[in-house]
Amino acid sequence: MSIHRHQFSRRSILAGAAAVGLTGTLAACGGSDDDSGKSSGPVKLTYWSWAPNMDKVAAIWNKKNPDITVTVSKQAAGKDIVSKLITAKKAGNAPDLIQVEYQSLPTLVSNDVLADISKYAKSAKSEFAEGLWGMVTLGTDAVYAIPQDSGPLMFFYREDLFKQHNLTVPTTWDDFAKTARAAKKALPNAYLTTFSSNDPGLFAGLAQQAGAKWWTVGDGGKWTVGIDDAATKKVAEFWGGLVQEGVIENQPMYTPAWNNALNKGTNIAWVSAVWAPGVLVSSAPDTKGKWRMAPLPQWSAGESVTGSWGGSSTGVSTDTKHAEAAAKFAAWLNTDPEALAALVKEVAIYPAATKGQSGSVLTPPAFFPNQTDFYDTAAKIAATTAASAWGPNVQVAYDTFSDAFGKATKAKKAAQFDTALATMQSATFTDMKKQGFKVTEA
């Protein structure tokens, strides 16, 4: 609240309170309750999703399945939906269907928001790569969601500037460091890219590529937190070194300044995921046709492993009275060819289902007219995605990342990157211990 916003009269606050009360009741009316029982009338399902145009895909389903009607309720993305869902669950009115980011699955399962739909959805397993399916089962016999989209990491670079300055497209992280130095020499006002502290998802994906396992469950029924394991340390030290050296920028992503850097060519590459073209269209509109995508640099030459950044799944809540119908919709949405085509066309996602990643469904992104085999390359890269290991308090780890790495990147000190990682580890471990989880440190 800003200093001048607070000087309301008593009356306006009272009126505001009344208005809030009103919307509260209205919102309650929009809930997922369906008192009609099983026999009478169509089943009505509510689907919380933040993806644009998801209602158009649901409309296809509604037309074909008059007995199960799905209504999409647009939500704020990612991290915001988690606390909202936990709160809704406490109130006993969580929606029937939920879009969930992979890293939030354990948190929601731990809060008993997501139902086990293995009874209805086991057959969907064959439609997905093993690593992706592992994320929605959490390594158990249960199935907590159906994978929807995935975000394999890739290396995006300005093809024109790389050619003009004789920069090599890195295949290993050693090369990446060399290219960063060469780029700084060739273009003193520019950087190869930035290390941002405001999106922990990218760092998690890079650690995943290096082989990190941040959360694991041992045989004894105990969590192990290993955020500062050797693999993650390697990643943190690598980027910290480059930031300290001054060849990688330290500014956050998704700011007007960052957009400007991409658009004006003062950031000439971006380690990002398959959805990058959609971001570049709006962040760097003047650079159409100048970018190219390559596989992510590797830790040892000849390897091909990537991590993932983002991606989500469709889950069924424990509050639903129609788990079977909801699971049916979730499976249809993410495996049916017509639904996949609509997801690609209307929602602009990169489908998680293997058959959605090839064929005529995916037309190359208009922003990359110079790379007509964009999605063929992407499918090959996606197949090399390393397994991820998420835990029940990812939010705490992510939150700590932003603060701790924010300080480190600002200071431009490699040693502080190490400290930041240790802070992340201890904050995550302490939080789990405080909540009563059986947990040890790696």
Which residue from 137, 354, 377, 395 is in contact with another protein, where contact means CB under 8 A? 395
Q: Which is nearer to another protein, 55 or 431 (CB)?
A: 431
**Which residue type sits at 249?**
E
Query: Interface with another protein includes 265 (CB under 8 A)?
Result: no
SS3 state of residue 131 = helix
Distance CA 157, CA 163 (A): 11
Q: Does 414 bind another protein (CB under 8 A)?
A: no
- The answer to whether the beta carbons of residues 213 and 139 sit under 8 Å apart is no
Please work out, in degrees rounded to the nearest 5, the angle formed at the alpha carbon of residue 406 by the alpha carbons of 401 and 407.
115
For another protein, the closer of residues 311 and 392 by Cβ is 392
Q: In this chain, which stretch among 29-37, 171-179, 361-369, 430-438 interacts with another protein, using CB under 8 A?
A: 430-438
Nearer to another protein, 168 or 435 (CB): 435
Q: Is residue 3 involved in binding another protein (CB under 8 A)?
A: yes
Nearest Cα to Cα of residue 424 among 230, 225, 238: 225
Between 148 and 267, CB nearer to another protein: 267
- Which residue lies nearer to another protein by CB, 142 or 442? 142
Q: How many residues bind another protein (CB under 8 A)?
A: 66
Question: Which range touches another protein (CB under 8 A), out of 39-47, 248-256, 323-331, 343-351?
Answer: 248-256
11 contacts another protein (rule: CB under 8 A): yes
- Smaller CB distance to another protein: residue 142 or 294? 142
Q: Quickly list H helices, 286-346.
A: 323-335, 337-342
Among 5, 37, 166, 282, binds another protein (CB under 8 A): 5
End-to-end Cα, the chain, rounded Å: 42
Closest to another protein by CB, 10 or 63: 10
Nearer to another protein by Cβ, of 1 and 166: the residue is: 1
Among 53, 65, 71, 110, binds another protein (CB under 8 A): 110
Work out which of 222, 246, 359, 363 binds another protein, going by CB under 8 A: 222
DSSP 8-state class, residue 287: G
Token pair belonging to 276: 């990058």
Question: Binding residue for another protein (CB under 8 A) from 43, 82, 161, 347?
Answer: 82
Work out which of 95, 106, 201, 297 binds another protein, going by CB under 8 A. 106
* Phi, psi values for residue 149, rounded to 5°: -135, 160
* Contacts of another protein in 353-392 (CB under 8 A): 392
Strands across the sheet containing 215-217: 215-217, 223-225, 439-441
Query: Min. distance of Cβ 402 from another protein in angstroms?
Result: 6
Does 6 bind another protein (CB under 8 A)? Our answer is yes
Contacts of 272 (CB under 8 A, 6+ apart): 153, 154, 156, 202, 279, 309
Lay out the site mask for another protein across 281-310 (x = CB under 8 A, - = otherwise).
------------------------------
- Of these, 251, 354, 377, 426, which contacts another protein (CB under 8 A)? 251
- Contacting another protein within 122-161 (CB under 8 A): 138, 140, 142
Residues 6+ apart with CB under 8 A from 181: 245, 247
Residue closer to another protein, measured from CB, 70 or 269: 269
Q: Is residue 417 a contact partner of residue 405, using CB atoms and an 8 Å limit?
A: yes
Please report the DSSP string for 411-433 in residue order.
Answer: HT-HHHHHHHHHHHHHHHHHHHH
To another protein, the closest distance from the beta carbon of 223 in angstroms equals 6
What count of other Cβ atoms lies within 10 Å of the Cβ of residue 377? 16
Residue 214 near residue 391 (C-beta atoms within 8 A): yes
78, burial (CB in 10 Å: exposed 0-12, middle 13-18, buried 19+): middle
Confirm if 292 and 283 have CB atoms less than 8 A apart: no
- Asked if 118 touches another protein (CB under 8 A), the answer is no
User: Counting contacts by CB under 8 A, is residue 318 touching another protein?
Assistant: yes
Burial class (CB within 10 angstroms; exposed 0-12, middle 13-18, buried 19+) of 31: middle
Residue 111 interacts with another protein (CB under 8 A)?
Answer: yes
* 377/427 Cα distance (integer angstroms): 39
Taking CB under 8 A as the criterion, the residue among 33, 112, 160, 245 binding another protein is 112
Local structure of residue 126 (DSSP, 8 states):
G
Alpha helices (runs of H) in 68-172, residue ranges in sequence order: 78-90, 105-110, 118-121, 130-137, 159-164
Which residues sit at the interface with another protein, rule CB under 8 A? 1-11, 13-14, 17-18, 20-21, 79-80, 82-83, 86, 106-107, 109-112, 116, 138, 140, 142, 197-198, 217, 221-223, 250-252, 254-257, 260-261, 266, 318, 392-393, 395-396, 399, 402-403, 405-407, 409-410, 431, 435-438
